[in-house]
């Protein structure tokens, strides 16, 4: 079996818009969106939030790494879960792929995810302080793997897709 490189891999924090932008980008590229969170849900029959809560973060990250490895062997737009970059094996696998970091401010992240009970990693008494800490922890990893960094703050999905397409055209992916 020949392993294909994805057109592009999307990384970024929860709520950044990886799935929304991924769908539009896949449509523009006439390909599929492969979302590793959805792959985990299909494999376990449970939501990612339930898997995370029931098994704990270490086991969730192990399952996630398995799905990331499978996803990266496929052609399409690959959307990774927000914390996938925390796992070294995932970061190592991203070296040979075009990676776009979809970013946002902590304030925007809280606004977009407030009241979302499906994301237990975001549960906190002080959502802004928690999201700020989450971003501070993950941004170095996003930066390490990313070839392109775009922010969704005050930008439409169409604008971001246009930026990503311009980047992909220059890299001939």
Annotated binding site: 15-20, 37, 61, 82, 119, 138, 155
Residue 115 corresponds to which tokens in the numbers above? 């009241």
Binding annotation for substrate? 37, 61, 82, 138
C-alpha 114/C-alpha 15 separation (Å) is 10
CB neighbours of 173 closer than 8 A, spacing ≥ 6?
Answer: 5, 7, 8, 98
Query: Which residue numbers belong to the known binding site for ATP?
Result: 15-20, 119, 155
Binding residue numbers for Mg(2+): 19
Closest residue by Cα to residue 86 from 150, 147, 140: 140
Rounded distance between C-alpha atoms, residue 155 and residue 27, angstroms: 19
Q: Are the C-beta atoms of residues 170 and 98 closer than 8 Å to each other?
A: no
Helix 48-55 and helix 57-71, axial crossing angle in degrees, nearest 10: 140
């Amino acid at each position: 079996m020949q392993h294909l490189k994805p057109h592009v891999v999307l990384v970024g924090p929860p709520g950044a818009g990886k799935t929304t932008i991924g769908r539009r980008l896949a449509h523009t590229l006439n390909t599929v969106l492969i979302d590793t969170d959805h792959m985990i849900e299909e494999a376990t029959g449970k939501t990612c939030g339930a898997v995370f809560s029931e098994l704990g973060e270490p086991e969730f990250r192990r399952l996630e790494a398995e799905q990331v490895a499978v996803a990266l062997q496929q052609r399409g737009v690959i959307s990774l879960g927000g914390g996938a970059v925390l796992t070294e094996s995932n970061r190592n696998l991203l070296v040979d792929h075009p990676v776009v970091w979809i970013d946002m401010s902590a304030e925007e992240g809280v606004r977009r995810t407030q009241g979302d009970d499906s994301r237990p990693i975001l549960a906190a008494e002080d959502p802004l302080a928690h999201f700020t800490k989450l971003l501070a922890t993950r941004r170095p990893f996003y930066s390490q793997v990313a070839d392109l960094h775009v922010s969704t703050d005050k930008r439409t999905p169409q604008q971001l897709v246009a930026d990503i397409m311009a980047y992909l055209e220059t890299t001939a992916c």
